[in-house]
Amino acid sequence: MKTHAIHGAGPGIPKCPGGLLSRREFLRTTSAAALALPEAVVAESEVEGGSIRRAPVSLGLCARYDFDAVRRELGRMLEALGSVGALVRRKHVTVKVNLVNTSAEDVAGIPLWLTVTVHPVVARALGSLLVGYGARSVTFCDQLPFRALGPEAFAGYGFDLAEFNAAMDGRARFVNTRNRGLHSTYAWVKVPGSPELATAWEVNRAYVDTDVLVSLGKLKSHVSGGITAGMKNLFGVPPSSLYGDDLKDEPDEEAKDYRGRTMHDCTRAPFTSSGSFNGRSVERDHGFNVPRFIVDLNAAFPIDLVVIDGISTIQSAEGWWLGSMVAVTRPGVLIAGCNAVCTDAVAAATMGFDPDAPDRSWPFVNGANYLAMARRKGLGENRIAGIEIGGVGLDRARFGCQPTYRRRAS
């Protein structure tokens, strides 16, 4: 296995903070696979660095969480992207799954995987396809609020390792990344370019000691981010052990709580081994902070492939914690792409929203448009006219979702 972004930081001070290669840079300079990606880089004057990335996005329709049906449709979509086989063949793949911070909840009695989290059938179908393309291993990760660091932590979300391995030739792994895990060190990953709020991230090495990073998200509205799909999914990467709400005044490998105070309210800095936030956040303004952290995470952890589960989900907001304002809905869509910004932009359009809408207008009504912000940093195109869309196409896939809740009247 190759190790990218080799920022080995012991329990103390990171060895080389601020001067290390990003994973994308590493791929560019060392991996032929990266060159095979169909990601175009287009010059654009308003963009930081002068260029912007673009890659096709594929849309599919699937009404049920039937393994064969999901695998067939997702397979067609990945084939349409044209590059996934070359991307994963003989590679170790890490899949960041959107599972959120409890498995004991539901939405009006409907299970999490039909409402809030990625359905295990979609994850299993994706894993099966990646193995079919020749992936050496596929590691499914999220930080989960359980002491267990392996498959036990995933059981409550419907993820059964034996089922996955039966469909994946025994090449599946489940890793709870709420802390350092089995690694002796964290990875220290610099945010390239001009960071918004985070200059670096200190995370479980599962997200960097890998060849390919996949974001497997759930299609939902999001109160602070506008929507959540592939990019917002990376919010689960910073571990509770350094960023969690249950920390007192130092890191704790036993921590398992959410990152509300560090990355939403911004009333406390994380306990990373060196300063990693630049202090430009606005206390308690989630609409200011969350979109900027999304962009900083995606700049530091470039996603090679995004897959979005939009078969059954909720509308108006992202989780049960927002009460009865959320309601189940059934778009019956799957979305995949090799550029996270392009893919999330198409996801927003599929929900009936303008992915280039101004800040503090719907669907980004409570804050900044993270997609437009990401484009200005050159991470990807968010304007639909500039994105090649394949599969069933946007007209067939579009499905009206209620936008998120507006906190205050304008």
Partner 1 sequence: MKASGAVGDGVREVWRMAGGGAGRGGLFAGEFADVAAGTSPLQARGTVKAPVVFDLRGRCFVADFAGSLSAFLPDGQRAWEASLPGAVSAAPAVTADGAIVVVGTLTGSVLALTTEAGRKLWQRELPTKTDPRILSDLLAMPDDAGVVASSWGGRFWRLDARTGEPQASWDAGIYPQSGAAADRRGNLFLLRAVWEKGVEIVRVTASGEEQVWHCEPEGSRQARRMVVTASPVIDEAAAHLYAVFNRDRDAVLCGFDLRDGARLWRRELPAPVMATPGLPADGGVVVADLAGQVRAFDASGNPRWSYDAGTDYLLAGPVTGTRGGVAVWIGDPLGRVHRIDADGRGAVCFEGGRSCETRASFGPDGRLYVPTTDGLIAALSVV
Residue 278 has which token pair? 């630049």
Which of 1, 42, 63, 166 touches partner 1 by CB under 8 A? 63
The residue behind tokens 């290669």 is 21
402 is a contact residue toward partner 1 (CB under 8 A): yes
In the complex with partner 1, the residue whose CB is nearer, 150 or 352, is 352
Which of 327, 384, 392, 394 touches partner 1 by CB under 8 A? 327
Q: State in angstroms the smallest separation of the CB of 408 from partner 1.
A: 6
- Name the nearest CA neighbour of 217 among 302, 145, 122: 122
Scan residues 187-246 and list those touching partner 1 (CB under 8 A): none
Residue 124 has which token pair? 């299993």
Calpha distance 96→98 (Å, rounded):
7
Q: State in angstroms the smallest separation of the CB of 326 from partner 1.
A: 9
Calpha distance 28→34 (Å, rounded):
6
Calpha distance 107→314 (Å, rounded):
9
In the complex with partner 1, the residue whose CB is nearer, 367 or 403, is 403
3 state SS of 97: strand
In the complex with partner 1, the residue whose CB is nearer, 106 or 245, is 106
398 is a contact residue toward partner 1 (CB under 8 A): yes
From 146-154, 282-290, 372-380, 398-406, span contacting partner 1 (CB under 8 A): 398-406
Calpha distance 43→295 (Å, rounded):
20
Helix or strand run (H / E) with residue 165: helix 161-167
DSSP 245: T
Question: Cβ of 284: how many Cβ atoms within 10 Å?
Answer: 11
From 32-40, 61-69, 76-84, 176-184, span contacting partner 1 (CB under 8 A): 61-69
399 is a contact residue toward partner 1 (CB under 8 A): yes
From 189-197, 240-248, 267-275, 402-410, span contacting partner 1 (CB under 8 A): 402-410
1 is a contact residue toward partner 1 (CB under 8 A): no
Number of residues forming the site for partner 1 (CB under 8 A): 32
Strand partners, 349: none
CB 41 within 8 Å of CB 53: yes
Scan residues 88-117 and list those touching partner 1 (CB under 8 A): 106, 108-110, 114
In the complex with partner 1, the residue whose CB is nearer, 12 or 109, is 109
Q: State in angstroms the smallest separation of the CB of 400 from partner 1.
A: 3
Q: State in angstroms the smallest separation of the CB of 388 from partner 1.
A: 23
Calpha distance 351→378 (Å, rounded):
24
The residue behind tokens 């995933």 is 154
Beta-carbon contacts of 115 under 8 Å, excluding residues fewer than 6 positions away, are: 106, 107, 312, 313, 314, 320, 326, 328
Scan residues 350-389 and list those touching partner 1 (CB under 8 A): 352
Which of 207, 320, 364, 370 touches partner 1 by CB under 8 A? 320
Question: Cβ of 19: how many Cβ atoms within 10 Å?
Answer: 8
Q: For partner 1, what does the binding mask look like between residues 329 and 348, x meaning CB under 8 A?
A: xxxx----------------
In the complex with partner 1, the residue whose CB is nearer, 2 or 406, is 406
67 is a contact residue toward partner 1 (CB under 8 A): no
Scan residues 260-319 and list those touching partner 1 (CB under 8 A): 312
* Residue 175 identity: V
Calpha distance 58→77 (Å, rounded):
5
Positions that interact with partner 1 (CB under 8 A): 61, 63-64, 106, 108-110, 114, 312, 320, 323-325, 327-332, 352, 396, 398-403, 405-409
